[in-house]
A and B are shown apart, each in its own frame.
Chain A
């Protein structure tokens, strides 16, 4: 009798303990994004989107009974702050990291998340991100090489440009895209007359552009970010360089048009579809909810790609009925049918790359709207 009582007591304690543990335990999600600095706009978009999705899932009962708890760390788009963020978020016990926006920041944190077994999903497009063999990394965008091949094909075969100039800053993203584009142009037999590097945020690009002008280019391809791209375009027009301007995907931001001002008209941007051009119902619903919650539309598709990464990981955990990160990633590698996503079908290769590509060329109109200039 005494023994039964004792075992009953043990069972009771165990039940109570698991119950309290279960109710207190949450699924911790880390957001690593540039909340301040030049790309704050994008970083806040990632943070807002993650919190919105977490709230939606929590309202519907959470993930397998666990509520999602979001922790945000500002990596300022720098490698140094990124490493600090990674350690802080790992110490908080997060299972997954949403972000960061820039490849530089995502790359600086990769090893820390890999060592901790935390899944990292970033929209960084630098090819180097998936070349290290870290199973923890899932790219939710498409790599630079896919964009570079599209851009080279567009410039050499579609438009037939004879004198191409490529401009890049020193970030791993921009260098990756610019190098890959130059290589792809050469592979297609195109002629790169100049490949220039600029310092991001240095604002005064006129000296470099003056040199570019003397090379008499047909087109300037800017592989960097919109903060520099917008000013490059404005200063290109001010210098009277009569060449087309094509910006890489990171120029796809409303601020590009504002910065370039009256020079924005006619500039082209290569990217996957914009927020407003996403045809999926899932996308329309999420963007509407986002607008209702924050009073503005998501700043770009990049934040939404990160949300897709988060959705994929949570989907995998639910399918596995386990919060194990390794199992979740393996599930995503081996999916037969792609998962429906906000930014298109989601499917991942074993190296962590998202499979597919949907690049387009947009031409900026006088009123700042986009017109599709070329589609694959």
Chain B
């Protein structure tokens, strides 16, 4: 039983990182009908930016304040990069055929990935141990401080985002833009600003996800965005792409599923089973678990 609860904790930790990254995919898709393939590489870039902020800006300070500052600065910087990305790579193609935008997204992904390699080098870089190595033992289950932080911060951010989208005027504008951009424009909504906002939110959540990856696993490589991007993309589809609670649910489920498969079946089969789960869910519910939204738009 302690193995079960330990795997549960493992799954929730990795699942909340997937969910944070998946939100970026799903929000952009919801408003723009575009899979932002560069998002995974933005996540990888934010881990490197965070490392540079730590060494250059914060002077390797590791106080609580410094850690918070690293998160804020990195999220802010990556939000700017996200806005620039949208302006340069996606806005000129907004009226172009869907395929052109997808190709542009793939190109942006390669540009960012190679940019990371050129700036920070091809080697694996090592994140400092910024979070104290503190552990709690519950029976045989061990939970570390960093796991708790990842889970709690992710949940708080996701709930805040949900409330922002569902309860505020700007959130209503985002929802309106996702249902019909032309109608939203006629209602006086500045869709360009809404799209910029989507990229700000998505990129900064992705940046926090990237920093979690760096803090939790400590080793970061320029091409790791592909792996996390793929998982998050699956999470977004699993939950129903375009649907915000869906991305959260998808991420958590994916994390739990891969932890339990690795634990109880075989770690080498984890990916194969994960993809089989995706195919199964898409057969049973083609729009994802919470995907009614997508159907409503067609």
Closest residue to B117 on the A side, CB-wise? Answer: A36
Tell me the chain B residues, 105-148 only, with Cβ under 8 Å from chain A: 117, 121-124, 126, 129, 133, 135, 137, 140, 142, 144
**A238 in complex: contacting residue of B7, B144, B213, B224, CB < 8 Å:** B144
* A295 within 8 A of partner (CB): no
* B95 within 8 A of partner (CB): no
Q: Find chain A residues with CB under 8 A from B6 CB.
A: 210, 213, 239
Main secondary structure of the interface of A (DSSP, over half): helix
Contacts known (A208-B262, A259-B219, A261-B218); A196 close to B267, Cβ less than 8 A:
yes
Contacts known (A206-B10, A262-B129); A231 close to B221, Cβ less than 8 A:
no
Q: In the complex, which range does the number of interface residues on chain B fall in?
A: 35 or more
25 A-B residue pairs with Cβ-Cβ distance under 8 Å, sorted by A, are A36-B117, A36-B122, A37-B223, A38-B124, A40-B122, A41-B123, A198-B268, A203-B224, A204-B10, A204-B262, A205-B267, A207-B10, A207-B11, A210-B3, A210-B7, A211-B3, A214-B3, A227-B124, A231-B217, A239-B6, A240-B137, A240-B142, A255-B124, A258-B218, A262-B129
A207 touches B259 (CB 8 A): yes
Q: Find chain A residues with CB under 8 A from B11 CB.
A: 207
Closest residue to B263 on the A side, CB-wise? Answer: A207
Closest residue to A238 on the B side, CB-wise? Answer: B144
Q: How far is the CA of A263 from the CA of B146 in the complex (A)?
A: 15
Q: How far is the CA of A37 from the CA of B259 in the complex (A)?
A: 26
A residues contacting B by CB (< 8 A) are: 35-38, 40-41, 170, 196-199, 201-208, 210-211, 213-214, 227, 230-231, 234, 237-240, 255, 258-259, 261-263
Q: Find chain B residues with CB under 8 A from A263 CB.
A: 133
* B232 within 8 A of partner (CB): no
Q: How far is the CA of A201 from the CA of B140 in the complex (A)?
A: 28
Beyond the given A35-B122, A201-B227, A207-B259, could you list 6 further A-B residue pairs with CB under 8 A, ordered by the A residue number? A37-B122, A40-B121, A201-B224, A207-B258, A210-B6, A259-B126
Q: Find chain B residues with CB under 8 A from A170 CB.
A: 268
A207 touches B7 (CB 8 A): yes
Q: Find chain A residues with CB under 8 A from B259 CB.
A: 206-207
Q: Find chain A residues with CB under 8 A from B117 CB.
A: 36
**B267 in complex: contacting residue of A38, A41, A207, A213, CB < 8 Å:** A207
CB distance from B183 to the nearest CB of A (A): 44
Q: Find chain A residues with CB under 8 A from B224 CB.
A: 201, 203
Q: How far is the CA of A209 from the CA of B184 in the complex (A)?
A: 51
Q: How far is the CA of A56 from the CA of B96 in the complex (A)?
A: 58
* B14 within 8 A of partner (CB): yes
CB distance from B134 to the nearest CB of A (A): 10
Most buried by A among B7, B10, B121: B10
Q: Find chain B residues with CB under 8 A from A240 CB.
A: 135, 137, 142
Q: Find chain B residues with CB under 8 A from A231 CB.
A: 217-219
Most buried by A among B7, B11, B126: B126
CB distance from B146 to the nearest CB of A (A): 8
Q: How far is the CA of A37 from the CA of B258 in the complex (A)?
A: 25
CB distance from A132 to the nearest CB of B (A): 27
B126 touches A258 (CB 8 A): yes
Q: How far is the CA of A143 from the CA of B135 in the complex (A)?
A: 40
Q: How far is the CA of A214 from the CA of B7 in the complex (A)?
A: 12
**A204 in complex: contacting residue of B14, B124, B140, B223, CB < 8 Å:** B14
Q: How far is the CA of A286 from the CA of B245 in the complex (A)?
A: 60
Q: Find chain B residues with CB under 8 A from A230 CB.
A: 218-219
Closest residue to A34 on the B side, CB-wise? Answer: B122
Q: How far is the CA of A201 from the CA of B121 in the complex (A)?
A: 17
Q: How far is the CA of A237 from the CA of B144 in the complex (A)?
A: 10
B10 touches A210 (CB 8 A): yes
Q: How far is the CA of A210 from the CA of B6 in the complex (A)?
A: 7
Closest residue to B255 on the A side, CB-wise? Answer: A204
Q: Find chain A residues with CB under 8 A from B142 CB.
A: 238-240
Q: Find chain A residues with CB under 8 A from B135 CB.
A: 238, 240
Q: How far is the CA of A205 from the CA of B224 in the complex (A)?
A: 16
A261 touches B123 (CB 8 A): no
Q: How far is the CA of A332 from the CA of B271 in the complex (A)?
A: 47
CB distance from A41 to the nearest CB of B (A): 5
A199 touches B14 (CB 8 A): no
Q: How far is the CA of A201 from the CA of B224 in the complex (A)?
A: 9
B133 touches A262 (CB 8 A): yes
A198 touches B267 (CB 8 A): yes
Closest residue to B5 on the A side, CB-wise? Answer: A210
Q: How far is the CA of A213 from the CA of B260 in the complex (A)?
A: 15
Identify the 9 closest CB pairs spanning chains A and B, nearest first.
A207-B262, A36-B122, A258-B126, A240-B142, A40-B122, A206-B10, A203-B217, A210-B6, A261-B129
Contacts known (A196-B267, A239-B142, A240-B142); A38 close to B221, Cβ less than 8 A:
yes
Closest residue to A230 on the B side, CB-wise? Answer: B219
Q: Find chain A residues with CB under 8 A from B137 CB.
A: 240
B268 touches A203 (CB 8 A): no
CB distance from B290 to the nearest CB of A (A): 25
Closest residue to A169 on the B side, CB-wise? Answer: B268
Contacts known (A38-B124, A196-B267, A240-B135); A227 close to B10, Cβ less than 8 A:
no
CB distance from B2 to the nearest CB of A (A): 8
**A211 in complex: contacting residue of B140, B213, B263, CB < 8 Å:** B263
Q: Find chain B residues with CB under 8 A from A255 CB.
A: 124, 126, 219
